[in-house]
C-alpha cells in the first residue's frame, strides 16, 4: 500500500489493521450448541495448534489456513470452528445447529459431540477453561425445565440480559466431562446482537491477566528483531492504557470521595511498574547489533515512553494518597471555581495522554508539534489557576482555604504529568529536524 500523498507506511500496518478488525462477533441464531475451550500454550504449542487445525481441514478436504494466520472461522462438515491464536492462549470454539425436542428430557449433547474425538483430545497445550453453551428460543423453555438434566438445582443462578431479551442460567459447576455449562434463552434479538452477547458470555481467556501481565511480549518474535520491536511497542501502549484508566479514575475519586476506587487505582500502579520491568527486560533480549538505525532509535523511544508511563503512574498514586488524606478523610470539598479548574486541567490531560499515545504509535510530526504546543498551553493554565486560587484565598473563600495545599499540589502534579506526556514529541521532532535549540522550527512542518 503506497500513495505519494501519504507518509511512508510501516511494513506491518496492514497486517495489524487486519488483525484488529478481523475478529468481530459472528451472527447467530437459536437454537444452537456451542463449546468453547481455552488452551494455555507455549510458543511451540501455539505453532502446533496451527498445524492441528490444518490437519482437521485436510481430513475434511478443505483448504489449509494461510501461513502465519492467527485466526480462522470455517464450516467443517456438521459443525463450525473458530480458532484464535493469542499471546499465551489458543481458543477453540465449536458450534452446531441444535435439536431441541428432547432437550430437557436427557443430558444435552454439546457441540463437541460431532467433532472428531481423537483430534479433540489431542489439542496442543493445557486446558484452562472449557464450557458448553446452549442457545435456545426463550418462548420454548423456562428455568424450571433446565434443572433436571442440564444444570444443578442447588447452585443454579440466573439473570436477565440484553435489556430483558435474554435470560442466562448456569450452576458454576464442572460437570462429569470437565466442562462448565450455561444456557441462554434468547428472543427478539438480531443475529448480530445475539452473536455479540454470546461472545461476552464465553470464557475470556485474557480476563485473569488483562492489565496485570504482558499481552504482546512474544518470546518467539525475538528471533526477528523488527517484529520484537513491534511487540514491545504494543506492550508499551498496553502500559499506557493502564495509566489512562488510573488517570480517568482520579476525577471520580475527587468528585465522589470514593476511597475504594482510590485504593483500586493505587494498586494499578504496581501493574504499571511490572509492565515497565517486563518491557525493559524484553528489550534487553533483542540483539542490538541486528537493529538498523531506525529500529535502534525506536528501541530507545520505547524505553523512554515506558519510563515516562511508569513515572506518571507514580505521580497518580501520590495524588490519590493526597486526596484521601487531605480531602476524603477530612470531609472537605473544593470550591465550585476550584473544581471547575481541576475539571479543565484533567480533561486536557486525558486528551494529551491520548495524543501522546498516537504520536508514539504513528510518529506523526504535526501531532508531535501539537503535543509540544499543549505543553505551553497547560503551563499557562497552571499559572493562571494558581493566581485565581490565591485570589479566592484573599476573598476568604472557606472551601479554598481548607483545600489550598491540596489544590496547589494537585495542579502542580497534573502539570508534571503533562510535561512527561509532551516529552514523547521530542524524539519525533528531532528526527524531523523540527527542533531548534530553544523553540520549534515551523518551516519544516
Question: What pLDDT score was predicted for residue 147?
Answer: 64
Nearest-5° angle of CA 123, CA 129, CA 131? 95
Interatomic CA distance for residues 66 and 22, integer angstroms: 14
pLDDT of residue 345 exceeding 80, the answer is yes
Question: What pLDDT score was predicted for residue 110?
Answer: 93
Quick one: pLDDT band at residue 421, thresholds 50, 70, 90?
Answer: very high
Q: Alpha carbon of 45 to those of 85, 124, 180, 229, 253: distances in Å?
A: 11, 6, 24, 23, 44
Quick one: pLDDT band at residue 383, thresholds 50, 70, 90?
Answer: confident
Quick one: pLDDT band at residue 412, thresholds 50, 70, 90?
Answer: confident
Instruction: Give the tens place of pLDDT for each residue, 246-272.
Output: 999 998 888 888 888 889 899 999 999
Question: What pLDDT score was predicted for residue 208?
Answer: 40
Q: Which three cell numbers stand for residue 45?
A: 504449542
Quick one: pLDDT band at residue 444, thresholds 50, 70, 90?
Answer: very low
Torsion region of 174: left, alpha or beta (phi above 0 gives left; psi -120 to 50 gives alpha): beta
Q: Which three cell numbers stand for residue 220?
A: 518467539
Quick one: pLDDT band at residue 281, thresholds 50, 70, 90?
Answer: very high
Locate CATH 1.20.58.220 in the chain: 219-431
Question: What pLDDT score was predicted for residue 397?
Answer: 56
pLDDT of residue 411 exceeding 90, the answer is no
Please choose, from the candidates 25, 181, 203, 211, the residue with its C-alpha nearest in 3D space to the C-alpha of residue 110: 181
pLDDT top residue among 334 and 209? 334
pTM over 0.75: no
Instruction: Give the tens place of pLDDT for each residue, 144-196.
Output: 677 667 888 877 888 888 888 889 988 878 888 888 999 999 888 888 899 88
pLDDT of residue 443 exceeding 50, the answer is no
Q: What is the mean pLDDT of residues 438-445?
A: 48
Give CB contacts under 8 A, 24+ apart, made by 8-16. Answer: 11/226, 12/227, 12/230
Q: Does the domain formed by 219-431 have CATH 1.20.58.220?
A: yes
Element (H, E) at 130: strand 126-137
Least confident range of 102-116, 137-151, 403-417:
137-151
Amino acid at each position: 500500500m503506497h500513495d505519494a500523498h501519504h507518509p511512508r507506511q510501516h511494513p506491518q500496518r496492514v497486517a495489524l489493521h487486519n488483525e484488529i478488525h478481523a475478529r468481530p462477533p459472528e451472527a447467530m441464531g437459536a437454537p444452537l450448541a456451542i463449546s468453547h475451550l481455552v488452551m494455555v500454550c507455549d510458543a511451540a504449542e501455539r505453532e502446533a495448534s496451527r498445524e492441528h487445525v490444518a490437519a482437521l481441514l485436510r481430513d475434511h478436504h478443505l483448504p489449509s489456513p494461510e501461513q502465519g494466520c492467527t485466526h480462522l472461522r470455517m464450516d467443517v462438515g456438521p459443525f463450525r470452528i473458530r480458532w484464535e491464536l493469542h499471546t499465551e492462549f489458543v481458543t477453540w470454539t465449536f458450534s452446531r445447529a441444535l435439536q431441541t425436542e428432547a432437550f430437557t428430557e436427557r443430558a444435552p449433547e454439546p457441540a463437541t459431540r460431532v467433532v472428531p474425538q481423537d483430534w479433540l483430545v489431542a489439542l496442543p497445550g493445557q486446558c484452562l477453561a472449557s464450557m458448553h453453551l446452549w442457545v435456545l428460543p426463550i418462548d420454548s423453555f423456562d428455568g424450571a425445565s433446565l434443572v433436571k438434566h442440564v444444570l444443578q438445582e442447588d447452585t443454579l443462578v440466573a439473570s436477565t440480559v440484553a435489556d430483558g431479551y435474554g435470560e442466562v442460567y448456569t450452576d458454576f459447576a464442572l460437570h462429569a466431562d470437565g466442562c462448565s455449562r450455561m444456557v441462554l434463552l434468547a428472543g427478539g434479538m438480531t443475529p448480530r446482537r445475539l452473536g455479540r452477547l454470546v461472545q461476552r458470555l464465553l470464557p475470556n481467556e485474557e480476563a485473569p491477566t488483562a492489565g496485570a501481565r504482558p499481552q504482546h511480549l512474544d518470546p518467539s518474535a525475538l528471533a526477528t528483531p523488527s517484529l520484537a520491536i513491534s511487540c514491545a511497542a504494543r506492550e508499551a501502549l498496553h502500559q499506557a492504557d493502564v495509566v489512562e484508566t488510573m488517570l480517568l479514575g482520579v476525577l471520580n475519586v475527587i468528585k465522589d470521595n470514593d476511597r475504594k476506587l482510590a485504593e483500586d487505582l493505587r494498586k494499578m500502579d504496581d501493574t504499571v511498574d511490572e509492565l515497565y520491568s517486563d518491557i525493559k527486560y524484553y528489550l534487553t533480549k533483542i540483539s542490538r547489533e541486528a537493529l538498523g538505525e531506525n529500529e535502534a532509535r525506536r528501541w530507545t523511544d520505547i524505553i523512554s515512553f515506558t519510563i515516562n508511563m511508569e513515572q506518571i503512574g507514580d505521580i497518580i498514586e501520590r495524588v490519590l494518597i493526597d486526596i484521601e488524606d487531605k480531602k476524603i478523610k477530612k470531609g472537605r470539598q473544593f470550591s465550585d471555581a476550584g473544581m471547575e479548574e481541576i475539571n479543565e486541567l484533567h480533561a486536557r490531560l486525558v486528551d494529551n495522554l491520548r495524543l501522546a499515545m498516537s504520536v508514539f504509535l504513528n510518529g506523526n510530526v504535526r501531532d508531535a508539534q501539537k503535543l509540544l504546543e499543549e505543553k505551553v498551553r497547560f503551563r499557562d493554565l497552571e499559572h493562571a489557576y494558581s493566581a485565581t486560587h490565591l485570589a479566592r484565598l484573599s476573598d476568604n473563600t472557606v472551601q479554598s482555604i481548607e483545600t489550598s495545599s491540596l489544590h496547589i499540589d494537585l495542579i502542580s502534579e497534573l502539570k508534571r504529568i503533562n510535561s512527561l506526556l509532551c516529552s514523547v514529541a521530542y524524539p519525533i521532532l528531532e528526527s524531523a529536524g523540527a527542533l531548534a535549540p530553544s523553540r520549534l522550527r515551523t518551516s519544516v512542518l
